[in-house]
Structure 1
Amino acid sequence: MAALVLLPIEVSDAGWLSDVFKSSAKPGKSPKHHSSPKHATSPKRATLAKRAALAKPAASSKPRNVRLAALGPVTLNPSALRPAASTCNPSKFRIVLDVGHTAESEGAMSARNVAEFVFNHRLAQRIEQKLKAEGFAETMLLLTEGKARRSLVKRVAAANDLQANLFLSIHHDSVPNKFLEEWEFEGKKSRFSDRFSGYSVFVSHGNPDFKTSLSFAELLGKEMKAQGLQYAEQYSQAIMGRHRRPLLNKQTGVYSYDELVVLRTTRMPAVLLEAGSIINRDEELKMDSPERRDMISSGVTAAVREFCDPRWAILGAL
């Protein structure tokens, strides 16, 4: 972690993706996987052993929430989108739900002056409830305190210490300041942009298990679409300037954002979900509703189930 360098962010964009700053440090070496059994001498057996290790978390205490102290489209080979683990035990499959931003560094401000952190926390709690109800008892909510710059590395370190099987960071979207317009809500000046809407999913090639990260990202995008939701297309457009990102799949809304610290430095498959735009006045109202949180939670849960056991996609509950 001593080599991690956080690049400065322009003041005008401080509230936009401010909790997932870029890092100029080169990706470190991939962590060592669990040793394969002695008899797994062939490449095929070694691969099977690696997959089994991914689905088996380390011994842990009872499920708990974790709170930290302050401090153009690319064509993909379908075979690259298959989950690395063929099956898993849901009761032992450990998922870390990272609540984006902190109470002290709240992220973007919605069109009606509600902090992104509030939206992130409520949605992450609903996803946690849904996953646990579906048998994923090891699901953990990761809450970080303090200023964003000081808490960012801490949240990654906590996720790595938990030895999770999957890391999912929950956020809500805004836009660069150049797209913002002014309006007044309940007697207070605010800013909005109704130009863009939709969810988006991000992965980093710097993650030591990018292939598995992409597998889950594809499942998540597919399930969000199955809920009737549309992804945010603006990240692939030239008008986004330095915020433009490579679109990996134009069907599911999966983007590459290689410099995101929470994706690049976690030692497990990691995905960031921008659940929807809270700077868009119409979509903000939808994102604030229990119905929309249920839709997104159902999509996430379906993606996790299929990631854990691909047979879910065809047979449903077994």
Structure 2
Amino acid sequence: MNPSARRPVRRIAALVGAVALLAAGMATAAVPVAVDVGHFLAKPGATSAYGVPEFEYNQSLAAVIATRLEADGVPVRLIGYRGEMEDLYARAPQAEAAGAGFLLSVHHDSVKAEFQQPWVWEGRQQMYSEYASGFSLFVSRKNPRLAESLDCASAIGAALRQAGLHPTPHHAEAAGIGRPWADETNGVYYYDNLVVLRTATVPAVLLEAGVIVHPREAAELATPTRRALTADAVAGGLRACGATASP
């Protein structure tokens, strides 16, 4: 081959190599998202209508969300996945020590005891309620990145609604907790004193994926289909609010 003919080939090879290096650098520079598994083994949170601890729901959904984000090239730091994180004040610092630029705390919801009633499931008495169903999201006005937190909470809520899910209004009702709305349309409330939100210095949102004391919703929330749908909405919402880059 004529030496002059090799020059375009060499230039193309150099360009391809530069693009590969740039892509590798971009992947390395991606900012992690911290996915916090709500509650812990010693205090596993609410109990479903079928007697399943909330922590098990949280752990399973957090794993699916982490996998979904990683498929988009987003590094993920799981917090409290083994159920060992008893110190709530250690969660946000652990996320930030990992370089996380966003913190999502994953939970599942319940209702006040006066709205529950007993039933028997598989030979054991459990408590259930059809008073409320649906997702909700929370932000803290004590978080220094409130505007970004609210943007992302609203974006996740909008994605969940677009996927066919509905927010629950029961946290705002006087008969419930009476929490103020931050974005009623997308199911976002203010909950200023939640430790994991107010101690974070990065944008932070708590997701209640659904009401596990509601028999029908508890069953749905335990399925791979519902978990995947929720994870897709979370991933889409985080892209929409700029917390993660598009794949």
Q: TM-score, normalised by structure 1?
A: 0.66
Q: Which residue of 1 aligns with 2:53?
A: 115
Match of 1:244 in 2: 178
Aligned to 1:140: 77
Note the C-alpha offset of 1:91.
5.8
Aligned to 1:300: 234
Q: What corresponds to 1:216 in structure 2?
A: 152
Unaligned runs of 5+ in 1: 1-87
Match of 2:99 among 157, 163, 166: 163
Distance across 2 between alignment mates of 1:308 and 1:248 = 19
Residue 129 and residue 235 in structure 1: after superposition, are their counterparts in 2 closer, same or farther (change >3 A)?
same
Cα contact 1:208–1:268 (8 A) shared by 2: yes
Aligned counterparts, 1:73-88, within 5 A: none
**What amino acid sits opposite 2:191 in the alignment?**
Y
Letter in 2 for 1:132: E
Could you tell me how far 1:145 is from its partner in structure 2? 6.3
How many Å apart are 1:196 and its aligned residue? 0.4
- The CA RMSD over aligned residues, in Å, is 2.1
> 1:190-227 CA distances to partner (integer Å, 9 max, x unpaired)?
10111100000000000011111111111111101111
- What residue is the counterpart of 2:196 in the other structure? 262
Taking structure 2 as the reference length, the TM-score comes to 0.84
Change in CA separation of 1:300 and 1:184 when aligned onto 2, cut-off 3 Å = same
Query: Of the two, which has the highest radius of gyration?
Result: 2
Q: Look up the equivalent residue of 2:104 and give its one-letter code.
A: L
Correspondence for 2:37: 99
309 and 102 in structure 1: CA distance in 2 versus 1, 3 angstrom threshold: closer
In the alignment, is the contact (CA less than 8 A) between 1:201 and 1:273 conserved in 2?
A: yes
Matches within 5 A, 1:26-105: 92-105=30-43
Cα contact 1:144–1:151 (8 A) shared by 2: no
8 Å Cα contact 1:101/1:144 also seen in 2: no
Shift of 1:163: 3.1
Tell me the amino acid that sits aligned with residue 267 of structure 1. T
Residue type at the aligned position of 2:203: P
Q: How many residues get paired?
A: 222
| Counterparts of 1:203 and 1:298, CA distance in 2 | 21
Q: Which residue of 2 aligns with 1:226?
A: 162
Match of 2:10 in 1: none
Cα distance between partner residues in 2 of 1:144 and 1:120: 9
Q: How far does the alpha carbon of each residue in 1:122-177 deviate from its partner, in whole angstroms, 9 at most, with x for none?
A: 000000111101111x21111166787x4211222212322310000000001111
Normalized per residue, which structure has more helix?
Answer: 2
* 1:302/1:99 CA distance change after superposition, 3 Å: same
